[in-house]
């Protein structure tokens, strides 16, 4: 083996937690190595958040083209889909962003090492190169684990079952399937349902819970199901999947609820959640405390049961969101290297789903507020009362606010409709600053914009909305 190298911090994993942690530590003048099996960016940048948004942009553009006559534009001839070019653009976007992180590593003097890392002691990491060769040993003051999660398998189904996809395979189809069954209607499931349906695939979306996007407000989920049904997506909720039988020609699925039925399609996408990714990470002598589901336990400073080892991001459990992972990583690093730094507790986190209509939310749902026994009021403002939404041809959706009484502080916000994922930032800041309905509606919002709906929703809580 080669001679050990010594660092202040070794980060294992190059995703939104890992690369951000490495860069922040380097900014603080520390010597840092970031270990990643592939290239920097992790699942989010290479196989998740970023390239999927490139695919969804194609679907969105295609939908606008099909409705071009609504805007006075006539298109002669058929609209043709070039699937290889669609996929190549998505990969190109990921490539560009990954190169950007590589540049940041170089400029900040972060040592990026490709390979599989194993923690062999509280201050030692052994790296096995992906292409073979002698392992490298790194000595370090601290270790930060940011290895994220991997797709949850379906019980009893082989990992290499034919015609069964995870989200990664769904991003790289060699041909457009005529039919697709998606099991799981969280963010991943509904985004791929929208994408493939827009391209012409017959999509069946199956969810075990009573509603699509189970973590979202019930009215948001109901409108999404209505819109998906209008788009031609078959939606089945409260569905118990008993069996998945892959064949050379496709996949057969047996449901026992809500009514027994057999379904078949060319491809099946499993989007039933994730599990922690600790494959080969810990040597037998390194025993870190895990929770009941296998996620790494940490304290409020992201320290594990081994004092020199920290963890951040999806590997410490939900919410599995890139922006949460990055925040946790920065908090962990600053807590390590900035004297007197107090940990910032995450209380509320925005969640975004990029199908059409888009969904964005933060804080309590109406149901959760009721379950907590809180005094609150609900205010809604519809997109179709917004001049900007109607002018843009996107009148479906609403802004919904949950506000405490008697002071009107924002307890939750739920948006479904065009650019919902951009509008949520204002309400995230409102919750962070403990802003009230009065403070939101007395803040002048520019006209004509979609953001005016937030102010109008705040007015609606007082029965004073102008445009409804």
- By annotation, the residues acting in catalysis are 447
Return the number of other C-beta atoms located less than 10 Å from residue 102's C-beta. 17
Angle at 325 (CA atoms; ends 139, 311), nearest 5 degrees = 35
Contacts 24+ apart (CB under 8 A), 374-378: 374/404, 374/411, 375/404, 375/405, 375/406, 376/402, 376/403, 376/404, 376/405, 376/411, 377/402, 377/403, 377/405, 377/461, 378/402, 378/403, 378/461
**What are the backbone dihedrals phi and psi of residue 242, each rounded to the nearest 5 degrees, phi first?**
-85, -40
Instruction: Work out the end-to-end distance of the chain between its first and last CA atoms, rounded to an integer number of angstroms.
Output: 72
113 neighbors 34 (Cβ within 8 angstroms):
yes
Q: Counting beta carbons within 10 angstroms of the beta carbon of residue 246, is it exposed (0 to 12), middle (13 to 18) or buried (19 or more)?
A: middle
Strand partners, 275: 150
224 neighbors 205 (Cβ within 8 angstroms):
no
142 neighbors 309 (Cβ within 8 angstroms):
yes
Return the number of other C-beta atoms located less than 10 Å from residue 205's C-beta. 27
As given in the structure block, the two tokens for residue 456 are 């109008």
Per DSSP, 168 falls in state H
Angle at 350 (CA atoms; ends 344, 352), nearest 5 degrees = 145
């Amino acid at each position: 083996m080669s001679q050990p190298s010594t660092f202040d911090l070794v980060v294992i994993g190059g995703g939104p937690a890992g690369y951000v942690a490495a860069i922040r530590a380097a900014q603080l003048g520390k010597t840092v190595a970031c270990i990643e099996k592939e290239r920097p960016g992790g699942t989010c940048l290479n196989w998740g958040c970023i390239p999927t948004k490139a695919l969804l942009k194609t679907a969105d553009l295609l939908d606008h083209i099909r409705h071009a006559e609504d805007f006075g534009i006539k298109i002669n001839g058929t609209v043709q889909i070039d699937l290889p070019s669609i996929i190549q653009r998505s990969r190109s976007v990921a490539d560009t962003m990954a190169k950007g992180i590589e540049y940041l590593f170089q400029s900040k003097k972060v040592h990026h090492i490709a390979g599989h890392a194993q923690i062999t002691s509280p201050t030692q990491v052994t790296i096995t190169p992906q292409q073979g060769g002698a392992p490298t040993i790194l000595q370090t003051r601290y270790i930060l684990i940011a290895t994220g999660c991997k797709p949850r398998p379906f019980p009893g189904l082989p990992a290499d079952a034919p015609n069964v996809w995870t989200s990664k395979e769904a991003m790289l189809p060699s041909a457009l399937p005529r039919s697709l069954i998606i099991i799981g209607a969280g963010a991943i499931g509904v985004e791929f349902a929208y994408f493939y349906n827009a391209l012409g695939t017959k999509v069946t979306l199956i969810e075990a819970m009573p509603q699509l996007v189970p973590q979202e407000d019930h009215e948001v989920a109901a409108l999404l199901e209505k819109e998906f049904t209008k788009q031609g997506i078959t939606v089945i909720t409260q569905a118990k999947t008993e069996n998945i039988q892959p064949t050379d020609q496709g996949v057969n699925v047996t449901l026992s609820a809500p009514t027994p039925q057999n379904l078949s399609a060319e491809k099946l996408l499993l989007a039933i959640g994730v599990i922690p990714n600790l494959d080969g990470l810990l040597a037998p002598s390194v025993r870190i405390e895990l929770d009941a589901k296998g996620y790494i336990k940490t304290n409020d400073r992201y320290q594990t049961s081994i004092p020199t080892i920290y963890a951040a991001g999806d590997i410490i459990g939900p919410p599995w969101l890139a922006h949460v992972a990055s925040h946790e990583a920065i908090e962990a690093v600053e807590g390590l290297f900035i004297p007197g730094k107090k940990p910032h507790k995450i209380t509320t986190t925005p969640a975004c789903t990029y199908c059409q209509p888009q969904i964005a939310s933060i804080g309590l749902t109406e149901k959760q507020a009721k379950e907590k026994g809180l005094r609150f009021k609900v205010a809604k403002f519809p997109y179709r009362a917004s001049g900007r939404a109607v002018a843009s041809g996107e009148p479906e959706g609403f802004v919904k606010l949950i506000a405490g009484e008697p002071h009107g502080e924002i307890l939750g916000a739920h948006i479904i409709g065009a650019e919902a994922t951009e509008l949520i930032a204002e309400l995230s800041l409102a919750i962070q600053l403990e802003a009230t309905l009065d403070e939101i509606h007395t803040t002048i919002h520019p006209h004509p914009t979609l953001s005016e709906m937030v102010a109008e929703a705040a007015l609606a809580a007082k029965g004073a909305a102008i445009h409804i």
